[in-house]
Amino acid sequence: MLSGLISQSVFLGVLITLGAWFLALALRKRFDYAFVNPLLIAVVLTIAILLATRTPYQTYYDGAKYLSYLLTPATVCLAIPLYEQLEALKKNYKAILAGIVTGVVTSLLSVLALALIFGLDHAEYVTFLPKSVTSAIGMGISSELGGYSAITVAVIILTGIIGNMMAQPVLRLFKITDPVAVGVAIGSSSHAIGTARAMEIGPVEGAMSSLSITVSGLLTVVGAMIFQNFIQEASGRRSGGRGQSERKIMPRGGQERRKAYHGIQRADQEFQPDPGLYARVLRLRL
């Protein structure tokens, strides 16, 4: 019954989303813990409602999509605190640029290291490369490089939520207190969702984090184009010089199947037909 009501109502998806958000904010004010994250709680509540009412996601999205129209003006509004802190930006531009570049390179290197450790293929690897930029930029990078853009969006959101939750504990752990450093660290690692937490910390932190989002996005586009080739080169060395097409043919899922595959290859290469065999067969038939 409630599923039908959601499908028939134009704006009920908006009401569900806003209701989950305001309830999450109330819980945040009541329990001031890092894991009580409003965005995470709102997502969980919305999913729970859709599962309980057996409402398809597309039906919910048709009613809630109007909220996405506010994403662009909300992003533009991030320039306001940056303008207000323009003097701090001019004074510390070298440190800010160095911090953003370091954050982008660290993000790309961490994805490369994890991909090599877990044996990810090229498509899986490039899916995770844009994890620390906004979803609009990340989806474009992932699609262009041959990744799975739907998974990229999920990874980006998860990265932002973790950054929002863990920013302050990590900063306290490493005793990072400078407002510029705090803002750059949060913005270059957890994009807009982390920036929301930076704005709660202070105006300078929020402004530097807003700047880091834009610059990190541009640098990640360039860096991802370079880093996309590293997995393929590493895979080629591990496979003994085999080409990409041959690696795709080789079955995955066990050492025994790999041994069988190589055994068939060796047998095929070692087989030398006897030229006189065909002549003998012809004489017998005659």
Q: Tens of pLDDT along 158-193?
A: 999 999 989 999 999 999 999 999 999 999 999 988
Which tokens hold the place of 85?
């802190």
Mean pLDDT of the chain: 81
Could you tell me the pTM of the whole model? 0.72
Residue whose entry in the numeric block shows the structure tokens 């160095």: 98
> Is the pLDDT higher at 200 or at 265?
200
> Is the pLDDT higher at 153 or at 235?
153
Nearest to 141 by CA among 110, 118, 168, 108: 108
Q: Is pLDDT at 82 greater than 50 in this prediction?
A: yes
Residue whose entry in the numeric block shows the structure tokens 């932190």: 205
Q: How confident is the model at residue 263 (pLDDT cuts 50, 70, 90)?
A: low
Tell me the CA distances in angstroms from 1 to 50, 53, 54, 61, one per residue in order.
Answer: 13, 8, 10, 18
> Is the pLDDT higher at 45 or at 259?
45
**What's the rounded Cα separation, in Å, for the pair 55 and 2?**
8
Which tokens hold the place of 253?
């899922």
Contact predicate 180/65, CB 8 Å: no
* Residues 16-32 pLDDT 10s: 999 999 999 999 888 87
The number of C-alpha atoms within 13 Å of 263 and in the hemisphere containing its C-beta is 6
Contact predicate 46/177, CB 8 Å: no
Lowest mean pLDDT among 55-69, 172-186, 233-247: 233-247
219-254 CB burial, b ≥16 within 10 A, e <16: bbbebbeebbebbeeebeeeeeeeeeeebeeeeeee
Three-state secondary structure call for residue 193: helix
